[in-house]
Structure 1
Amino acid sequence: MTDVTTPTVAARLDALPFTRGHARILGGSGLGWALDAMDVGLISFIITVLVSEWSLTGEQASWIASAGFVGMAVGATLGGLLADRLGRRSVFAITLLVYGVATGASALVGGLTLLLVLRFFVGLGLGAELPVASTYVSEFAPARMRGRLIVILEAFWAVGWTAASLIGFFVIPNVAEGWRWAFAIGAIPAVYALVIRWGLPESARWLERQGRHSEAEAIVARLEASPALASSQRRRGEPVLVPTPLAGPAATTAGERLRALWAAEFSVRTACLWLVWFCVNFAYYGAFIWIPTLLFSQGYDLVKSFGFTLIITLAQLPGYAVAAWLIEVWGRRLTLSVFLAGSAVSAVLFGQAGTEGLIIATGMALSFFNLGAWGALYAVTPEMYPTSLRGTGSGWAAGVGRIASILAPLSVPPLLALGGVPVLFVVFAVFFLVAAGAAWGLVDKRGQTLDDR
């Protein structure tokens, strides 16, 4: 049974073309996303330098990465809960401020212990921000283009990682104590947090769910008055098919929200989503945090290993572009599983690569498929839950994934000792394949309106 006339906030948002207001929301959130990626990317280059400057063991180097991921695990779970309670925009701004300040302070450290403490706080902010940002944008996006817009949001990750690679290539090896300057550049998000807080609207869906109808109405009205920037399959004001909301009270406390994730309606999708997040995080961060160091340890000098990493990183952008197109053609599950399977094949080939040409080619393939998979994963995650649970569900899925990102850098040294680079990347391939299978337990909501319970 459907109602084609009720002008709810959801129906009005889904009826909109892509407007200048949407572009502002996407661009503002995407710039924050890019700054996040820049921070994560920079640490992979900084670790390589500190191994030499501070005479670090492999285990100590692993902890520099893993300390940040411990913070990300905590931040993701808390950030989602806070986003459902306090709103998307406010939590987004707070998290940018936390990790921007901690990253800038890292430029002043003189030893490993303080760096590990600051990396935890960097991760705390970063881990909370990413699932909140994807939830925020998904709640503004019209249904027919929602998946594509979230993949485009995720594509800003490639912009940030490329910026990190450029800093790693041009600044870190060529400037005295270049790693400190890299950290200082990473403090930019602390300033940008103020722009986010005051420059972007709160989620209209969240406001309506909180009973703040006049505020939600004003935000939707501004979007409706905003000029369209692209052709649309719908016209402004055209009725949208909106399913009648399912019965059942919405969760209102943190405990109720957590229990609701495992209710009969959501238990399978929650289990599969957590498994995909865990496996993708393990394989991605295990590989990409260590690639510059692995290349350096194989005899390539600092500049060449960083240069290889820069070239490999550039393949992320076409990966996102293809995923952004396919996700509204094939749907979420097929796109996600295909890109994960491609990641698995690429990982095996990269582990076997023995020449410079093969290292670059297989590394670019791994980058292409893996980051396309990330785009699809961020698109599907907020769609699994209703508005009252969306931040919590997205945050906890990301938090479970961050457990894997803690374990992955720590697992690299023993796996290298066991069988070298080939065995290491076969293990990563297995994780990609498990994630590809688990993706089929998710619900595909291509073209459907979000659940606004």
Structure 2
Amino acid sequence: MILQRLESLPVGNFHYKLLLLTGLGWLFDSMDTGLIAFVLPVLAKEWALTPAQVGWIGSIGLIGMALGAVLAGTLADRIGRKRVFSLTVLLYSLSTGMCALSWSYESLLVFRFLVGFGLGGELPVAATLMSEYAPAHLRGRFIVLLESFWGVGWLVAACISYLLIPAFGWQIAFVIGTLPALYVFLIRLHMPESIRYLLTKNRIKEAQDVILMLERKLGVESKPFTGEVDMSKLSSQGTETKPKFSALWSAPFRTRTAMLWLAWFGIVFSYYGIFMWLPSIVYAQGFAVVKTFEYVLIMTLAQLPGYYAAAWLVDVIGRKYTLSLFLLLSGVCSFFFGNAETSTALLAWGSAMSFFNLGAWGVIYTYTPEQYPTAIRALGSGWAAGFGRIGGMLAPMLVGVMLGNAFGMNTIFLMFASVFVIISAVVILLGKESKKKTLEELEVALEG
């Protein structure tokens, strides 16, 4: 009865406010990731850092993200989505502020690890929370729109870097990064705990109170709950499956866990390998345009229509086919980008690569939480994202080795194109479609 009333709620201000609240967390995360990319060249010059030291500043954050995704996902299934979301936002924002006070290279590494830990923990938990409130027929669209805030965050980071860092120094970027700490108070005031999470913990009265509150806010005729709650309406997977790592590899889940881990590894490997080295690789090939603000702006702006196209397609042709298509086209664009011979071709294929790559990111954040029941949803999402971060650690180092051994841009991007094509095939072969089904219908399908 509770879940039926949740699913029957009309889309209204509550859903859009929740999208904005979780989206702002995404924006701040993206802004922080973008800021460190823009700060590193300035910091390297000021502190006389070696290329290896600069590489570690980027890698230590990814290590933190991997651990944060796993541990925050586990905690979110035990103590709640809202609480973990708030804690991770607070951790990475305060740690970002501490980066501005760094007195040495070693202290900056510690703070960047903590930033990565908070950032990595927030993303899968936010996606899980949004997926558990969005109505089934629009859930995919809402999650992809949530991911689109990442592109906006990169735009904000670019503007801060080009407008403020030259005037006030690199510290100003990290000072601005503390703003999300204030945002935690908005989370506490306006974001309810997941109803599905409350039900798995038998906190029935709290779940009923949230439903009554939402019905009032959305102008729905509200009736008090009477009698006992029929817990059989909840999936047995949702109530009996414990939030343990071994559950992800039990019979109902092992195929989708393998598919998600491979897809996450491939998409994170390619994204960080491409975008962390993009300026250096392309500039080394003689394309000075990559150093301009206009280039960064064009590449970033191309992400937004990619998200919106994916947001429409996930509820039309489905998550599985949209994700596979966008991954495949990312590979095609990567290949032609690596073989571009003019600045015009470079910008065109780079923008197309950005369009499809970030669109695929939006879909995978939609697709992942839908593959697990409520009791292990955040755990499964966190482990998939955490395993993917290993790819993010390896790719930048591998590109560095390839550059050191005189591999050209075309060879490097052929590698990334191949990875995209492989994981596109993995999703098609192993993935299960989940569009326009309630999360409970998906859980019943798992039992079958």
CA deviation string 1:52-84 (max 9, x = no partner): 333333332221111000000100000000000
Amino acid of the structure 2 residue aligned with 1:75: G
Q: Give the equivalent residue in structure 1 for 2:109.
A: 116
Counterpart position of 2:229: none
Cα distance in 2, alignment partners of residues 98 and 244 from structure 1: 37
> 2:400 aligned with 1:413, yes or no?
yes
What's the offset of the Cα at 1:356? 2.5
Partner of 1:427: 415
Q: 1:110 to 1:33 in 2, by over 3 A?
A: same
Shift of 1:150: 0.4
TM-score with structure 1 setting the length:
0.90
Matched, 1:196 2:187: yes
**Cα distance between partner residues in 2 of 1:297 and 1:307:** 18
Q: Give the aligned residue type for 1:118.
A: F
Question: How far, CA to CA, are the matches of 1:425 and 1:309 in structure 2?
Answer: 19
Task: Tell me the secondary structure at the aligned position of residue 141 of structure 2.
Answer: helix
Candidates 148, 157, 161, aligned match of 2:141: 148
**Is 1:175 aligned with 2:167?**
yes
Partner of residue 349, structure 1: 336
Question: Which consecutive residues of structure 1, in runs of 5 or more, have no partner in the other structure?
Answer: 1-6, 230-234, 238-242
Distance 1:345 1:116, change over 3 A: same
Distance verdict in 2 for CA 1:236–1:406, change over 3 Å: farther
Paired AA for residue 410 in structure 2: P
Deviates more, 1:437-446 or 1:81-90: 437-446
The one-letter amino acid paired with 2:201 is Q
Percent identical pairs in the alignment equals 47
Amino acid at match of 1:193: V
Aligned alpha-carbon RMSD (Å): 2.3
1:442 aligns with 2:434: no
Look up the match of 2:267. 280
For structure 2, the residue ranges without an aligned partner over 5 or more in a row are 224-231
The whole-number CA distance in structure 2 between the counterparts of 1:87 and 1:343 is 36
Task: Summarize deviations over 1:219-245 as a string: whole Å, max 9, x none.
Answer: 12222233379xxxxx999xxxxx966
| Deviates most, 22-31 or 107-116 | 107-116
TM-score by length of 2: 0.91
Report matched runs for 1:87-102 at 5 Å.
Answer: 87-102=80-95
On the 8 A contact 1:206/1:387 being kept in 2, the answer is yes
The answer to whether the Cα contact below 8 Å between 1:48 and 1:292 also exists between their aligned partners in 2 is no
* Counterpart secondary structure, 2:439: coil
Separation (CA, whole Å) in 1 of partners of 2:393 and 2:323:
23
Match of 1:86 among 67, 75, 79: 79
Partner of 1:261, secondary structure, is helix
Deviations 1:140-167 (A, max 9, x none): 0110110110001111111111111222
Matches within 5 A, 1:10-409: 10-172=3-165, 174-177=166-169, 179-227=170-218, 247=236, 250-251=239-240, 253-254=242-243, 257-295=244-282, 297=284, 304-409=291-396
Shift of 1:366: 1.0
Alpha-carbon shift at residue 107 of structure 1 (Å)? 1.3
Deviation at 1:295, TM superposition (A): 4.6
- SS of 1:290 mapped into structure 2: helix
Separation (CA, whole Å) in 2 of partners of 1:297 and 1:189: 37
Alpha-carbon distance, 1:410 to partner:
1.8
Query: Is contact 1:341-1:433 (8 Å) kept?
Result: yes
Deviations 1:118-177, CA, capped at 9 Å, x for gaps: 1110010011100000000000011011011000111111111111122222223x2242
Distance 1:389 1:417, change over 3 A: same
